[in-house]
Amino acid sequence: MARYTGAQILIKTLEERGVENIFGYPGAAILSVYDALPSSSIKHILCTDEQGAAFAAEGYARSSFKAGVCLATSGPGATNLLTGLADAYMDSVPMVAITGNVNLEDLGHDSFQEVDIFDMAMPVTKYSIIITKADDIAPLIRKAFTIAESGRKGPVLVDIPKSVLDETGTYEKEPSQKFTHKDPSPEEISAAVSLIKSAEKPVIYVGGGVKFSGAEKEVKILAEKLNCPVVTSFMGIGSFDQSSPLYAGVLSNENLMLPSIFKECDLFITLGARFNSRFNAFNTLKKRKIAVLQIDADRAEIDKNILTTASVLGDIKEVLSKVNPEIEQREMLEWAYKEEELPEDTNRGIQIICALSEKLKDSVTVSTDVGLHQIWTALNYKFLSPNKFLTSGGLGAMGFSIGAAIGSHFATGGKQLIITGDGSFNMNFNELLTCVKYHIPVIIVVLNNNSLGLIRLLQYGRKSKGYMASSLYLNTDYVKLAESMGARGIVINETDDINEKLNEALNGSLPVVIDCRISINEGIH
């Protein structure tokens, strides 16, 4: 077997695993890897911050369904990855984060830029590894990818001391082994089928696990056989055709149809979704003691928040391929809920989102942060095909969207639309430099109410007097900010015509930042 430095072995193993892009930021402890990168086929995307690199690796994974890879140095470089790791962990996104560390003999001696990233990352990763000799790099990197991409997917941290990257070891290429799912239990399949057959008014709840399984077709078959309403989580948006008459919207407190659906439902079929405490609908499940069928790849999710009537552990695509043939075609049932014709919304933020949806449709991948803009986008942008909506679901991380859009572009080559708020954009707008540097075709729409809108709404509900914490009082000129970074900037203010200004923005060069001025009380009622 040929001998190479640990850094060279790392790069060769990443190439072996089919890695094409790495998002990172250099530092002293990881420089040996940067020395080895130019001789490889891997493209390194230099972000402006390690958190941005982690979010970019996430966006890459969410759009490609392959593990995204990010690279950071020791100390603050490694700790800056933690928010991205936590976000990937909560949303089940496959990711491999590689950090350099101080020399092996210096670990535990409070060396310069030394942190115990292994222990720090354990609660927010699926698995963490410290590699202590060069000969272990190839097998442990292979293990990291297998863990990240198998079962319920998630992030893995690999920490490698500088001395291990510099010492020599052996490497021999191995073919990638495809992960195979364990077959679902026949008894669990039978119980699920019986429960579905006995239900008169089932509802299907589609979560993010559907897209990671590639089970959109199987979900459509089940829904059309049952002729029942389908709702999605934020992570599940796009996994069921929103133009279908069966689509009842996103599971959100703002979805006015859901209360009546839950009043009639007698079986709640959950596919790859958590019972998120963010939404009130699940309280109805408990109060009415509605039967629950949960299908999930992670046993830990089953019966965690709501007790199930029946459950199936397994890959959703495989499970439904066994369940669907046993279900007979049903006639469309009469439900009391009706999709009411609502008056035209005077919320300028929603008007802008609807106009963007009409103009861009599925020609872009849409990324959001967390807040009012996230809710408005989820409920009002029409997603007609899978995997066009990237958002921070479980962690709710501000600053997620711009990194995610960068990663998504490198995964798909496609145009990106970011819908964000001024509070979220302020978190990571430095990554606009990355967009400009790599000529990423991104449209950044900042719904600018000069406040933390969702926090302000929550404070309004609490009759709080602490608005000074959610009112930003910044009056930032995002046009000048964009131009200073080499992008275009356009303002939509109270008197501007939305369509005219959007056309001007969309028909010019990209990247572009659209500063949409909306009222500080938008959405507060």
Q: What residue segments make up the domains of the chain, in order of their start? A: 3-170, 186-339, 348-517
pLDDT tens-digit profile of 2-49?
889 999 999 999 999 999 999 999 999 999 999 999 999 999 999 999
**Two structure tokens written together for 336:** 């009391």
The pLDDT mean for the chain works out to: 91
At 178, is the secondary structure helix, strand, or coil? coil
Residue 467 pLDDT = 67
Residue 74 pLDDT = 96
At 71, is the secondary structure helix, strand, or coil? strand
Q: Do 268 and 292 form a contact (C-beta atoms < 8 A)? A: yes
- Each as own residue / partner, the long-range contacts of residues 479-484 (CB below 8 Å, 24 or more positions apart, any chain) are 479/513, 479/515, 481/429, 481/432, 481/513, 482/432, 482/444, 482/511, 482/512, 482/513
What CATH class has 348-517?
alpha beta
H-helix or E-strand spanning residue 102: none
Confidence tier at 114 by pLDDT (50, 70, 90): confident
**How would DSSP label each residue in 256-309?**
TTHHHHHHH-SEEEEES----TT-THHHHHHHHT-EEEEEES-GGGTTSSS--S
**Two structure tokens written together for 408:** 């998504």
Q: Do 239 and 219 form a contact (C-beta atoms < 8 A)? A: yes
Residue 312 pLDDT = 96
Read off the amino acid at residue 24.
G
What integer is the mean pLDDT of 412-427?
95
pLDDT tens-digit profile of 442-472?
999 999 988 877 877 777 777 776 666 677 7
Residue 461 pLDDT = 72
Residue 179 pLDDT = 66
Residue 105 pLDDT = 87
pLDDT tens-digit profile of 296-343?
998 988 988 888 999 999 999 999 999 999 999 998 877 765 555 545
Residue 338 pLDDT = 55
At 3, is the secondary structure helix, strand, or coil? strand
Question: Residues of 24-57 as b/e, b for ≥16 C-beta within 10 angstroms?
Answer: bbbbebbbbbbebbeebebebbebbbbbbbbbbb
Task: Give the angle subtended at the CA of 458 by the CAs of 455 and 460, to the nearest 5°.
Answer: 110
Confidence tier at 183 by pLDDT (50, 70, 90): confident
User: Dmax of the chain from CA atoms?
Assistant: 72
- What span, in angstroms and rounded, lies between the C-alpha atoms of 249 and 255? 7
Confidence tier at 131 by pLDDT (50, 70, 90): very high
Residue 506 pLDDT = 92
Residue 291 pLDDT = 94
Residue 295 pLDDT = 96
- What span, in angstroms and rounded, lies between the C-alpha atoms of 85 and 118? 12
- What span, in angstroms and rounded, lies between the C-alpha atoms of 467 and 475? 16
pLDDT tens-digit profile of 214-247?
999 999 999 999 999 999 999 999 999 998 999 9
Q: How far apart are the first and last CA of the chain?
A: 69
Q: Among all chains, which residue has been given the structure tokens 């659906």?
A: 261
Which region among 123-127, 232-236, 493-497 has the lowest average model confidence (pLDDT)?
A: 493-497
Q: How far is CA 18 from CA 11, 40, 43, 309, 423, in A?
A: 11, 12, 12, 42, 37
DSSP strand pairing (512-517 vs 442-448) = parallel
Q: Residue 100 phi/psi, 5° resolution?
A: -85, 160
- What span, in angstroms and rounded, lies between the C-alpha atoms of 104 and 164? 7
Half-sphere exposure of 175 (CA within 13 A, CB side): 3
Topology of the domain covering 186-339 = Rossmann fold (3.40.50)
**Two structure tokens written together for 80:** 């800056």
pLDDT tens-digit profile of 239-248?
999 989 999 9
Q: Is 88 exposed, middle or buried (0-12, 13-18, 19+ CB in 10 A)?
A: buried
Q: Do 417 and 365 form a contact (C-beta atoms < 8 A)? A: yes
- What span, in angstroms and rounded, lies between the C-alpha atoms of 452 and 470? 5
H-helix or E-strand spanning residue 515: strand 512-517
- Do the domains 3-170 and 348-517 sit in the same CATH topology, yes or no? yes
How is domain 3-170 classified at the architecture level of CATH? Answer: 3-Layer(aba) Sandwich (3.40)
pLDDT tens-digit profile of 162-180?
999 999 999 999 887 666 6
> Among residues of the chain, what percentage have pLDDT more than 90?
72
Question: Residues of 258-279 as b/e, b for ≥16 C-beta within 10 angstroms?
Answer: beebbebbebbbbbbbbbbeeb
Q: Among all chains, which residue has been given the structure tokens 């996430």?
A: 58
378: pLDDT strictly greater than 90: yes
